[in-house]
Amino acid sequence: MSTQPEARRRSRRQETRLWRVPVTRVERVTPHMARVTVAHESLASLAGASTDQNVMLYLYPEGTELPEPLTLESARGLWAHTRPLTRTYTIRRHDPVANEVDFDFVLHGDAGPASAWASRVQPGDEMIFVGPSPAYQPDPAADWYLLAGDETAIPAIAAILATVPQDKQVLAYIEVADAAEEQPVDGVTWLHRDGAPAGQNTVLVDAIRAADLPEGLPEVWMAGERSAMLAVRAHLLDDRGYPRQRVRPTTYWRLGESGN
């Protein structure tokens, strides 16, 4: 028998399912960020997306004959001979009236199948994904919030900024290639690599190290390249003395490694 808190936790979870929906719009929001919009009546049952809710993009080899209907079960039935490549992406915006969902894809080159897909996808193509994941819920007991990441975390940080309690201070640091990659998200301190390669710089940790952070105990949400996450986490635990359970880093990608 489930306890009440377990039941409450589960009720916040949304059923995981496979979505096969048409791409209706593709936009370059910045030189290296593609916004892919999908729209379909089935998205009405994608319950209110929030904070860092993400999905697993399924990329099948070209020409794969997919079963109809394509569901989680029928996709698994194919696994013996065809498995999709999977990559994780965050829901940037969900409009439950228009049944539209936006995803922001960092275009980091054709070595990444998801990045290559997003650089070529056109309206009329289809997007297949599985999800959504549960969402991060900011702890209302925190004195203030620290959000940090690179451009892959822009969708999550933008959504978290809209969710954290309005009476609390929030600091958000996002590392991007340069000023052209900034997006209109209120409350973000943008950090520029200015020529330093993604995943091989100390821009994020240097900014947080130099920051005059508020008093009290924050909750820290951060996501990005693994070595940057480890560096920021080490600084926050070792130099700032924040408790481990208040610091939540997520590796979104690893330099030199495919997939996540």
Ligand X SMILES: Cc1cc2nc3c(=O)[nH]c(=O)nc-3n(C[C@H](O)[C@H](O)[C@H](O)COP(=O)(O)OP(=O)(O)OC[C@H]3O[C@@H](n4cnc5c(N)ncnc54)[C@H](O)[C@@H]3O)c2cc1C
Q: Which residues sit at the interface with ligand X, rule CB under 6 A?
A: 54, 87-90, 104-106, 108, 111-115, 152, 155, 198-199, 252-260
Q: 129 or 144: whose CB is closer to ligand X?
A: 129
Name the residue among 178, 207, 175 with its Cα closest to residue 194: 178
Is the Cβ–Cβ distance between 107 and 33 less than 8 Å?
yes
Angle at the Cα of 206 from the Cα atoms of 204 and 210, rounded to 5 degrees: 120
From the CB of 130, what's the least distance to ligand X, in Å? Answer: 13
From the CB of 181, what's the least distance to ligand X, in Å? Answer: 11
Q: 209 or 254: whose CB is closer to ligand X?
A: 254
d(CA 256, CA 25): 31
Q: 108 or 144: whose CB is closer to ligand X?
A: 108
Backbone phi and psi for residue 231, each to the nearest 5 degrees, phi listed first: -65, -45
CA dist list (Å): 172 to 7, 121, 198, 207, 250: 33, 31, 19, 11, 15
Q: 155 or 218: whose CB is closer to ligand X?
A: 155
Q: 103 or 144: whose CB is closer to ligand X?
A: 103
Contacts 24+ apart (CB under 8 A), 28-31: 29/104, 29/183, 30/180, 30/181, 30/182, 30/183, 31/180, 31/181
Q: 8 or 120: whose CB is closer to ligand X?
A: 120
Q: 77 or 259: whose CB is closer to ligand X?
A: 259
From the CB of 89, what's the least distance to ligand X, in Å? Answer: 4
d(CA 194, CA 174): 13
From the CB of 196, what's the least distance to ligand X, in Å? Answer: 12
From the CB of 131, what's the least distance to ligand X, in Å? Answer: 10
Strand 54-59 with 126-131, pairing: antiparallel
Token pair in block for residue 224: 């990005």
d(CA 24, CA 100): 9
From the CB of 120, what's the least distance to ligand X, in Å? Answer: 12
Comparing every residue's Cβ against ligand X, the nearest one is 112
From the CB of 221, what's the least distance to ligand X, in Å? Answer: 12
